[in-house]
Amino acid sequence: MSAIESLSWTSAYPPALDFGQQLTREQLINSMQLTMSRHEGGPVWLFAYGSLIWRPECSSVERQRARVHGYHRGLYLWSHEHRGTPETPGLVFGLDRGGSCSGFAYRLDESNLDDSLMALWQREMPYPAYRPHWLSCRLGDGSKVQALGFVLERHLPCYAGNLPDTLLSQILASAKGRYGTTREYVEQTLNALRSHQMPDRNLEARFRRCHNLREV
């Protein structure tokens, strides 16, 4: 059992979710400005590990395969709008502590950086479920850059953690929100990673196990 699995799931599905109030535009701007004040200078890179791989929000002038260490990709964040509902919440990816994660790094266009960042904040931070963080990121060409990533906040109610396969299987079979099902979201991410020859083998194996549970 992994460290995250040791945070054993003890509540019934669906959970009682409280995402709190949506952030106002002023709060989004303050969060964005605080994050950018911690940037060490130079080009602004964005690390994409989930839907940003196949549906990027920002205009970029360069894209490279990339990897970050110290964080991994997991279906650990409840979704009550985009990939589920309050009655049948779904899940979306987040970066959580431990391991490493492959994805893409986008070098953002400096000519419209503020607009790109605001669009990104509006997409990723409508609720304070993530913490914007500068990640140490190794690019495909071997260079290291500081890349913006959105890291999960474990102490919030919207953090699901590593759910049992039986429960994840149920969610994959039933959760659907404004932008489609949790299953479609996972499949699109897996397909994007495969198509660029960087499959997430742990996630692939888990997805197969959950599919097999539904077939039993």
DSSP 2: -
Cα distances (Å, whole numbers) of residue 110 to 11, 79, 169: 46, 32, 42
Alpha carbon 45 to its chain centroid, in Å, reads 16
Alpha carbon 97 to its chain centroid, in Å, reads 13
Out of 40, 124, 153, 204, which one is annotated catalytic? Answer: 124
**57 tagged catalytic:** no
Q: What radius of gyration, in Å, describes the C-alpha atoms of the chain?
A: 17
The first and second tokens of residue 12, run together, are: 């019934």
Q: From the CB of residue 191, how many other CB atoms can be counted at a distance below 10 Å?
A: 13
- Are 2 and 110 in contact by the 8 Å Cβ rule? The answer is no
**Annotated active-site positions, please?**
124
